[in-house]
Amino acid sequence: MLEPLPLLVAAGLPFLAVAATGFARIAVVLGLLRGGIGLPAALPAPVIWGFAGVLAAAVFAPVAAEIDAALPPGPLDPALLAERGWPILERFLIARTPPETAAAVLEALGGAPSPPGRVVAFLVGELDAAFRLGLWLLAPFLVIDLLMAHALLALGFDRLRPEAVALPLKLGLFVAADGWLLLVGRLAGGA
């Protein structure tokens, strides 16, 4: 007969990998980048998920190593994992959750800090940070789109799509500004 606790832990690990690491923030920002460029095929969904997974794993690796070091060698005991691993994960979540976000979420959930409350507060903070970073990322692309639309109308090319003309300029701006390095630095620093 299967014991329910190991199954519960095994079923919850993918959820925690998304909700309690920087994965959600990274995936949302990359999705916004894809939309801002205006060519979804330039950054396919599998690339976004793979990039988000690898970067989140790299950022979370020290926490995972600390949890692993807290566990004895041998078969994984889910109860021991929860007992020794949660305080380490909770420290990570608290350190990366804005205090005002944590307070608001914990108050909305009943006031008492609990593991689900900590994860929800962390995830809300990550989504807020992702949208803020997305706004910073998309503003130059919006300016390029508006300038191209205005220039094409002024030149009488009203049948030419502004997105087609703006795409090379957006990519050029992103590459010239070392966009990938800046983006990875911002995502890894706060993810």
User: Is there a domain that residue 12 lies in?
Assistant: no
User: Is there a domain that residue 15 lies in?
Assistant: no
User: Is there a domain that residue 131 lies in?
Assistant: yes
109 has pLDDT over 60: yes
Q: Please give the Cα distance from 122 to 95 (Å, whole number).
A: 9
Q: pLDDT tens-digit profile of 135-182?
A: 999 999 999 999 999 999 999 988 888 888 899 999 999 999 999 999
User: Is there a domain that residue 7 lies in?
Assistant: no
User: Is there a domain that residue 41 lies in?
Assistant: yes
CA 17 to chain CA centroid, Å, is 11
Q: Please give the Cα distance from 147 to 6 (Å, whole number).
A: 57
Q: How many domains does the chain have?
A: 1
User: Is there a domain that residue 58 lies in?
Assistant: yes
User: Is there a domain that residue 119 lies in?
Assistant: yes
Q: For residue 154, what are the domain limits?
A: 20-190
pLDDT at 42: 81
User: Is there a domain that residue 25 lies in?
Assistant: yes
pLDDT at 112: 77
| Burial zone of 145 (CB within 10 Å; 0-12 exposed, 13-18 middle, 19+ buried) | buried
